[in-house]
A and B are shown apart, each in its own frame.
Chain A
């Protein structure tokens, strides 16, 4: 039996195809400690989807919550290797965009069998801890006005030091965690995160569509990772 149940729901911005979804989510939940991460690639950079994926996959498989410069060097090299074949014979603007680098927000939490958790965040993703149906904690941002188009980001540019915030706490059996990228986070802050406990993959897509239509959810890539640690 795995140490936790993990579900990742992600819907691209309306009008965008699935391969244009620049959010990513990943988890390592087979054994303790459990790791889960989400990242949101910046729209105005190229190869951000690849960067968001490299970030979450490397972070959870290496068990690195708050990446150091040396971790980032390895992950940036993986990103460069991944995009290199796609740069050959491309028009001028693709090379210019790759030169500018890729960017993503990032949220990672680690959950231990001992009942402790810790998390790291760059930018405007939000971690929710639910106790039963009640919101126990939302971190780091709970002010809806703080969600704008210019969050802190992790960059592929060498030696660019991200602004990493960290937090820690404890969990009890029955607690659940939600990791949400910015649009989803603002939406959950508005409607109450317990709403997410009713969703599955399909009903999440329906909920996103109706919330967008009602103006409660900004049109953006929308991702929620639900983590239920086992007792």
Chain B
């Protein structure tokens, strides 16, 4: 499997987010600078992470005359229910539940003002107010039907692959605190990863948001690198795909240490790098 198909408007790839919205996501996040009651909830970290990932994906596709549909996006929430959180507009006819990224770009729920530290390029930094798009707010209720979510994602990618058999395969990004309450997620993960385009099998990456204050882990290459204080990390690691060659090369250029066993698994750290590793054209190395 090559994982070398060109990602273009004629031959887009798909990005599906699986978002854990279970009650345990109300607990405090262990990887924040603030600790204890001041730390944000895991559900807040999740919604911030996903909004930032989507913003990053949109900006990768944005040109002066609009957003190019290099990606088709799906978002599935799992908690009280397992359901798609974004719906295709009526004008978009498809049966996959995925929508072209330009439609998402035009319809954030709202724009919020944030204070950002900007590098002025001459060694100084300054604080500026910037507007950022928000598509999702925190939700945390009921159990964690991760297996059902993986199953729904599998149905979605199967239909999408039928329509895009030569594309770079879909990337599924599961953001969770780790505990499935509806079965053994490894089996469902393996089933999801078994679907393939001509270019490769579906890639499943896991972003583990934990209450544990163990050090962050990015792109581990063996279970020995996982935190011992979180019992779900190993399952999520096992569920995660190894990085294909093209993504390993991009990761290496950014200073990550990678090998053939490196997996798309992130523990209590920023997952935006995973989005950067997909190549869609000449990329200024200082763009993040």
Query: A interface vs B, CB < 8 Å?
Result: 15, 20, 40, 42-47, 50, 83, 86, 91-101, 103, 105, 148-151, 153, 155, 157-160, 182, 219-220
Contact = CB atoms under 8 A, between A and B. Distances in A.
17 contacts: A40-B282, A42-B283, A43-B280, A44-B283, A44-B284, A91-B106, A93-B105, A95-B131, A96-B62, A96-B130, A99-B130, A101-B284, A149-B279, A150-B285, A158-B122, A159-B122, A219-B8
A46 B108 CA distance: 21
Contacts of B139: none
Contact of A94 (B64, B120, B284): B64
B269 interface: no
B58 interface: yes
Contacts of A97: 59, 62-64
Interface size grouping (class) on chain B: 20 to 34
Contacts of B121: 157-160
B58 A93 contact: yes
Nearest to B288: A100
Contact of A44 (B105, B253, B280): B280
Interface in B1-49: 6, 8-10
Given A92-B111, A100-B287, A149 B59 contact: no
A182 B120 CA distance: 30
A81 B62 CA distance: 20
Interface of B: 6, 8-10, 58-60, 62-64, 67, 105-106, 108, 111, 120-122, 130-131, 133, 249, 253, 279-287
Contacts of A148: 249
B63 A46 contact: yes
Contacts of B111: 92
Contacts of A44: 60, 280-284, 287
A46 B62 CA distance: 7
Contacts of A157: 121
A79 to B, nearest CB: 12
Of B63, B282, B287, chain A has the most CB atoms within 10 Å of the CB of B282
Contacts of B133: 92
A161 to B, nearest CB: 9
Of A15, A45, A182, chain B has the most CB atoms within 10 Å of the CB of A45
A153 B285 CA distance: 9
Given A44-B283, A44-B287, A92-B131, 20 more contacts: A20-B63, A46-B62, A86-B64, A94-B62, A97-B62, A101-B284, A105-B282, A148-B249, A149-B281, A150-B253, A150-B284, A153-B284, A155-B284, A155-B286, A157-B121, A159-B121, A160-B121, A160-B286, A219-B6, A219-B8
Contacts of B8: 15, 219
A27 to B, nearest CB: 23
Given A44-B60, A157-B121, A158-B121, A93 B285 contact: no
A220 B108 CA distance: 32
Nearest to B131: A92
A149 B282 contact: yes
Contact of A83 (B64, B105, B108): B64
Nearest to B123: A159
Given A15-B8, A92-B133, A151 B62 contact: no
Of A43, A47, A83, A100, chain B has the most CB atoms within 10 Å of the CB of A43
Contact of B283 (A91, A93, A149, A159): A149
Closest 10 CB pairs of A and B: A43-B281, A93-B62, A42-B282, A159-B121, A103-B284, A159-B122, A46-B64, A44-B283, A150-B285, A43-B282
